Amino acid sequence: MKNDLKLIHDNTPIPTDLNKTVEEAIKIGLAKKRGHKGVYKVITSVVACFLVFVTLINTSYAFAQTMTNVPILNKICKVFTFREYEEHDDKKIVNVKIPNISNTNNSELEKRVNYEISKIINEEVEESKIRALEYYDAFIATGGKKEDFSPIEITVDYDIKRLDENIVSFVINKYETLASAYQQFYYYNIDLESGRDLMLKDFFGTNYKNIVARQVKEKLENADESVKQLLFDDVNIEDLINDNTNFYINENKNIVIVFDKYTIAAGAAGRLEFELENN
């Protein structure tokens, strides 16, 4: 049944007048926003439509491809779910979304990034499946009953942090219910004009280590006492700032530094994020 629905979805033609309809809807919405009566209703409607629109872009390849043909929208259609699949059995529950980038006007960039994403996700999922099987075998070997085993959940998803005509920033995350140690995050910050992977020095200059470390220390000084109590005493923040430091770019165009669990604090603190002020 699921395969039949997928076949119908994949073969459903996109209406030829969709571009025109979308453009007309945008013009009408902009005209309404210029009025004074019923402003609240217009804003509510626009927000609701925008949420539906964003959902369609990021879950439907066909819709996203069509949107790239609408002049006013073609600069935001950069990330979409290229493939989504599920696998369920008595040992594991797998839910995977694989993102791709498109419409960058740089085919080499798209090939490189999309290939890398697929490779990373495929390897992560396969490793997780092996761990799930090993855990199941150990459970049975130690006297556990098959019917009492809770399948290991393996989830891969992504989160778009910033998306405009110049920069795309998104994070791919993988979770396993087996243990928090098997959480993985992959950060993508790409300059769409040059096709380069952005680094901290692109935002803070050659002295980025000192600048970033100083801001992080200031954030830690103002952190809640519950977090301060979990911080490690022997950590030098500056030693952790380099070309491989995890970060993303948020909607305010600010850099958000991310330290994984156990990097600067005990595991109870979780992943710690610090929004920095760009120079």
pLDDT in tens, 196-255: 999 999 999 999 999 999 999 999 999 999 999 999 999 999 999 999 999 999 999 999
Domain holding 240, by residue range, is 201-275
Do 86 and 170 reside in the same domain of the chain? yes
pLDDT beyond 50 at 168: yes
Do 186 and 207 reside in the same domain of the chain? no
Kindly tell me the burial class for residue 276, based on how many C-beta atoms sit within 10 Å of its own C-beta (0-12, 13-18, 19 or more).
buried
Do 60 and 164 reside in the same domain of the chain? no
Closest-CA residue to 77 (of 189, 167, 164, 13):
164
Do 83 and 183 reside in the same domain of the chain? yes
Closest-CA residue to 104 (of 82, 81, 78):
78
Determine, yes or no, domain membership for 99. Answer: yes
pLDDT digits (tens, 9 = 90+) for 246-276: 999 999 999 999 999 999 999 999 999 999 9
Determine, yes or no, domain membership for 72. Answer: no
Do 89 and 165 reside in the same domain of the chain? yes
Phi, psi of 70 (to 5 degrees): -95, 115
Phi, psi of 78 (to 5 degrees): -120, -25
Decide: helix, strand or coil at residue 178: coil
Determine, yes or no, domain membership for 102. Answer: yes
pLDDT at 14: 46
**Which CATH number belongs to the domain containing residue 205 in this structure?**
3.90.640.20
Total domains in the chain come to 3
Strand ranges inside the chain, DSSP E: 79-88, 92-101, 152-163, 167-176, 184-191, 247-249, 255-259, 272-275
Distance CA 84, CA 156 (A): 10
Q: How far is CA 54 from CA 12, 49, 73, 157, 159, in A?
A: 20, 9, 11, 16, 13
Q: Do the beta carbons of residue 84 and residue 77 sit within 8 Å?
A: no
Determine, yes or no, domain membership for 196. Answer: no
Determine, yes or no, domain membership for 6. Answer: yes
pLDDT at 175: 95
Do 24 and 52 reside in the same domain of the chain? yes
pLDDT at 48: 46
Percent of the chain with pLDDT over 70: 71
Decide: helix, strand or coil at residue 261: coil
- Give the 3-state secondary structure percentages of the chain, helix then strand then coil, rounded to 5: 45, 25, 30
pTM of the complete model: 0.73
pLDDT beyond 60 at 172: yes
